[in-house]
Amino acid sequence: MQDDILKLAFEVHRATEEKIDVIDALTRRTKTLALNARIEAARAGQQGAAFAVVAQEMSDFASEVAHLATELRSVIASNITQIETAGEKMVLDFRGARYADLSRNVVEIIDRNLYERSCDVRWWATDSAVVDVASGLTDNDAARERANERLATILRSYTVYLDLWVADINGRVIAQGRGNRYPGIIGKDVSQSLWFNKALQTTSGDAFAVCDIAREPLLEDAAVATYSTAIRAGGEVLGEPIGALGIFFDWEPQAQSVVRDVALTEEERRACRVMLLNSNFQVIASSDSKGLLTERYPLDIIQPQRGFYRQRDKLISYALTPGYETYHGLGWYGCIESR
């Protein structure tokens, strides 16, 4: 509708200019005829005096028409400019608001996905095989083998993860789900890892920790969203921490599918870049597959929750994560840059 209004304004402007040009041309012809008539009347002498009066009237009439055409052109041009300006603002506001809504939708979809990850880590930390291997109360080799098998079984059903790790209370990895794919992780010291320390700081089995998107060197430098929680004695909600479970969400393919599947028309898709930004405005997903964890996008927050603004020939729309259920988000933004 907004585009139609603008097109109509441009068409009215064009048609008006054409018609006024025709009036100007007719006026010039009339003045020429009047001038010729006065010349002929002068040649005719006394007999042409009356005709000279008519010729002068024709010239005066043509001048008045020319003046009116000039005024009409000026008035119409002014009004058309206002219509065009209002129409452009209407289009800008409509698209900006729509893209801001879509930006919120992008970050909401990813938040709902990550909420499920927070449920997974809390659930799996109570699995008997995980609790047993972390407790060290049973034969270590048998407990580790059982835990490895259990984690591998989980990974066969939950394909969005690269690996699942169990670390003992000292931060040594004692079980994992994909030892064949990622060998050499068992025995690694992760005591300095953010996910491990945040897991041990959780206050109960109902709590979890989440780290921002980062590359994990032990998983072939893949970009991951890491969730963790403490493994507690007996699998009890308020049990003493005896280790930590870390689960590594395969971020890049999942996030790419979200930013690429936004409800845009094909024309809009060609003109838009859809992104997810972390709280530092670092690009953590982009529909053009560029800038992952290397680009900081210069987002200008003009309104705290959502908004849009024009930047030269671009329209920038954004929305802050609203969180989902018990997952409050990490201050991420959905963002759409359109040309």
Question: Domains in the chain, start-ordered, CATH in brackets?
Answer: 2-92 (1.10.287.950), 125-254 (3.30.450.20), 262-338 (3.30.450)
Query: Is the Cα dihedral 322, 255, 300, 101 positive or negative?
Result: negative
pLDDT of residue 3: 59
**Could you report the per-residue pLDDT of 207-257, keeping only the tens digit for each?**
999 999 999 999 999 999 999 999 999 999 999 999 999 999 999 999 999
What would you measure as the largest C-alpha separation in the chain, in angstroms?
135
Partners of 273 in beta bridges: 337
CB 200 within 8 A of CB 225: no
* Rounded Cα gap, residues 115 and 323, in angstroms: 9
The whole-chain average pLDDT of the chain stands at 87
Secondary structure class of 252 (helix, strand, coil): helix
DSSP H helical ranges for the chain = 2-44, 49-124, 128-135, 140-157, 194-200, 251-260, 266-271
Residue 54 has pLDDT above 70, yes or no: no
pLDDT of residue 247: 98
Partners of 225 in beta bridges: 249
In this prediction the pTM is 0.76
Please identify which residue in the block is written with the tokens 């308020």: 238
Within 8 A by CB and 6+ apart from 26, the residues are 65
* Rounded Cα gap, residues 206 and 214, in angstroms: 25
Partners of 165 in beta bridges: 176, 246
Higher pLDDT, 314 or 326: 314
* Rounded Cα gap, residues 170 and 203, in angstroms: 18
**Could you report the per-residue pLDDT of 62-119, keeping only the tens digit for each?**
676 666 667 666 766 666 666 666 667 777 888 999 999 999 999 999 999 999 999 9
